[in-house]
Structure formats: C-alpha cells, structure tokens
Amino acid sequence: MKVTDSYQLACTPQDYKKCHQLLRGNPEQGDDRELGFPTIMAIRDGQVIGVMSTADMNRTRRIVVNTLRIDKSISNPVFVIKRMIEAYELVLLRAGCKWYWAYVTKENQRLVFLMRRVLGLPLHEDDGNFWFKKEIA
C-alpha cells in the first residue's frame, strides 16, 4: 500500500486546533504549547500526523523551531520529519530568512538521533539541549 502524505502551512484556526489535538494526544513527547508562524502540518488520510512550529519571536529574538512532533503511530518518522523541514524551509526562504535554530532536549534521544540524521551535528550544547543551526539557500 502506497502512503501519500501532504505538507501544508497552518493558516486557519481549524488548522491550529488540529495541531493542538496532535500535541495533546502525544503527551510523552512533551506538553501542548503555543504555535507560532510558520507552523507546518503533515497530513495523512485527512489526519494531522506531524507538526513543526516556531517559538514566539518576540521572546526568542530569532527563528527557533520549538515544536516537532510526529504521531506515535508512525513507525519510521524520518521521512515525515525531512519533508516537514523542507516545507518549513520553503516558507522561511520565501520570507527572506537565511537560517534558523532548532533545539532538542538531550533526554529525547530518539529525536536527537533523527535530527542529527536530517540536520547534521548540533552547533551548540547547553545543560539540557542540543542546538542545531540550519542555513537555507
């Protein structure tokens, strides 16, 4: 069976509601949180299976990915993560951005492994997080 996913920018209150449903449905991956712009949704069979979003830039003063969640039913999420990153970067590129940051808590070894596969080695490490800086062309 061929799986077809779509990746789209969250634009409506209904889109954000669906994203929050995914976040609340996967509490082992972290808490529900505020979603900023851009927020990318991965959709399979009409259901949101992944969310990638930006932290509030008024607080961070830079573009920081603070949410990257994949539904726990997805057995090999690396392809979903890679496609969400591509869609996210396309939005940033069209907005004139040249780079962004993403952080992963050290405790989330599965996501650390996946992010290293997709974004490479982290540029910085603090007490609780690995920080990846991704340049986009």
Q: Please tell me the predicted confidence (pLDDT) of residue 63.
A: 92
Identity of residue 22:
L
Burial bucket for residue 94 (CB in 10 Å: 0-12, 13-18, 19+): exposed
Q: Cβ distance 40 to 8 under 8 Å?
A: yes
Average pLDDT over residues 25-29: 67
Residue 12: per-residue pLDDT? 96
Q: What is the rounded average pLDDT of the residues 124-135? A: 91
Residue 16's CATH number:
3.40.630.30
Please check whether residue 14 lies inside any domain of the structure. yes
Range of the domain at 20: 5-96
Token pair 């779509």: residue: 6
In terms of DSSP bridges, do strands 124-125 and 47-54 run parallel, antiparallel, or are they unpaired? unpaired
40 within a domain of the structure (yes/no): yes
pTM for this model (two decimals): 0.88
If we measure between CA atoms, which residue out of 20, 17, 19 comes closest to residue 7?
19
79 lies in some domain: yes
Structure-token match 């496609």, residue found: 83
Note whether residue 59 is domain-resident.
yes
Residue 44 phi/psi, 5° resolution? -135, 125
For 37-85, write each residue's pLDDT tens digit: 999 999 999 999 999 999 888 888 889 998 888 998 888 888 999 999 9
Looking at the structure of the chain, the number of domains it has is 1
How high is the pLDDT of residue 28?
61
With respect to residue 47, please indicate whether it lies within any of the assigned structural domains. Answer: yes
| Residue 130 maps to a domain | no
In the prediction, which pLDDT does 36 show?
92
119, part of any domain? no
Q: Tell me, yes or no, whether 116 lies in a domain.
A: no
